[in-house]
Every structure is written in C-alpha cells, then in structure tokens.
Amino acid sequence: MNTVFKKTPVLTDTVMHYCPGCGHGIVHRLVAEVIEELGIQDRSIGFVPVGCAVFGYKYFDIDCVEAAHGRAPAAATGCKRVNPNNVVFTYQGDGDLASIGAAEIVHAAHRGEKITTIFINNAIYGMTGGQMAPTTLVGQKTTTSPYGRDPEHCGKPLRIAEMIATIEGAAYVERVSVDSTPNIIKAKAAIKKAFQCQLDGKGFSLVEVLSSCPTNWGKSPAEAMDWIKSDMIPYYPLGVKKDITTVKED
C-alpha cells in the first residue's frame, strides 16, 4: 500500500535549502499543519530570524517579516498590538533567541505579550559555521570550542524553557523534540496548544524544540537523531514547564 503525503496549503512548493537530516523542515511542516487545522492562515504573521531559518518567508504561504537578529519578539509585539486579531508567531534558533535576543524574549514574556514563539534548540550556531551557542552542551565540540565546551570558562548551557517558565507573563511553555515519530506527534500537539493559547488571549506561549544539525555536529542524519536522545534530552528534559491554560477560573 502506497502512503500519500498530503500537502498543506500553508507550505509553498519552494524546495527548502536545509541540510539533509536538519530538523527545520519537520518543524515547518508541523507549524503549517497547525495553522491549517486552526483555520488561521489568512491572519497569521510569522517573524523569521537571522539564522538557518532566515528564508522561512519562502516556505510559509502567509505574511512573514524578516526581523533583525534576535529582535523578532520586539517586532512581533508591535505587529500584535497594532492588530490584536493577527495570529503572530516568531520562529527562532538558539543563537538568535538565547544569545543576542535573550533580552527581547525575556521581556516579551514578562509583558505577557499574546504572541507565540517556536524556539529551535540544536545546541549550535548553524548558519554561521558551527560556533558554540548558549545551548551548546558541556564537552560538545564546535568551531569555537574545539576541545569541548568548558563550563568553567563559558558557563553551563541555558535551559530557556525553564527560565521563561519562571516569568509571570508566560502562559504556556513546553519542551519537545523531533528525534522520533512519537515525539514529533507530541511536538505538533504542543505547537497547536501554544497557538490556541494565543487565540484564547491567555498570554505569551513558547515551545522549545530539540532539533538536529548533522552538518555542524559532524554526524550522519541518523546519528544526529540518536544524539538528541542520548545527549540532549537528558540535559534538556521534555515536557510542560508551565501551563496556566488548564487552571480553572473562580
């Protein structure tokens, strides 16, 4: 029996530029399916980053804005406040969000902005040559940490989901992974819940996605998926970090 892969109208026919085994294509598909299923394509606006997903506007058949490096939450805030009926999301990598954009994501959550952030954590700077990121694991080798990340020199990796979950304005925060089919299914459910949180006006929502970067990790696509499971998930445990959407109001 042949499996038919249904096309979602939220993705264009443009061939993606991502390396073999990269998780961005998977997450793009999940975001597109969620937008289609929620019936919000005509009012969704994506803010794409400086990073590997810089050409996101070519792949999503929705309005997209190219934000300055790390500033997507600030730009998205303006868009949402001008027209609250817009469904606004940022799609950011760990260099974009956790490094140069750390202040923007913290204060967007602090203000309780009713936007959604899809945060791709692949533990490295992908587009610029595989440098160490705030999320690079201890001992992980990169072009700027050839002997492995030294916590005495660079500190330990940032757990963004846990950090954002401590902020009062954050309504829904979850960490997921795309290393396996069961986890991909859970990732889609989390992304859908994050968008629904925005639609319900609950506050800021963020989904952190553990993703692969075979090229800069120096691994095959299969090895990269295994490395997410063996090395990333133990340090970045999956699951809901905060969810006020299930709290019943008095």
Each residue's pLDDT tens digit, 83-107: 999 999 999 999 999 999 999 999 9
What are the structure tokens assigned to 112, written together? Answer: 């309780």
In the chain the domains, ranked by start, together with CATH numbers, are 24-243 (3.40.50.970)
Tell me the pTM. Answer: 0.95
Look at the block and give the residue holding tokens 């975001």. 31
In angstroms, the CA 193 to CA 207 distance is 9
Using one digit for the tens of pLDDT, what is the confidence trace for 113-141?
Answer: 999 999 999 999 988 888 999 999 999 99
In angstroms, the CA 22 to CA 221 distance is 8
Provide mean pLDDT across the span 179-199.
Answer: 98
The answer to whether 51 and 67 are in contact (CB under 8 A) is: no
Give which of 128, 61, 142 is closest to 93, Cα–Cα: 128
Give which of 34, 178, 22, 49 is closest to 105, Cα–Cα: 49
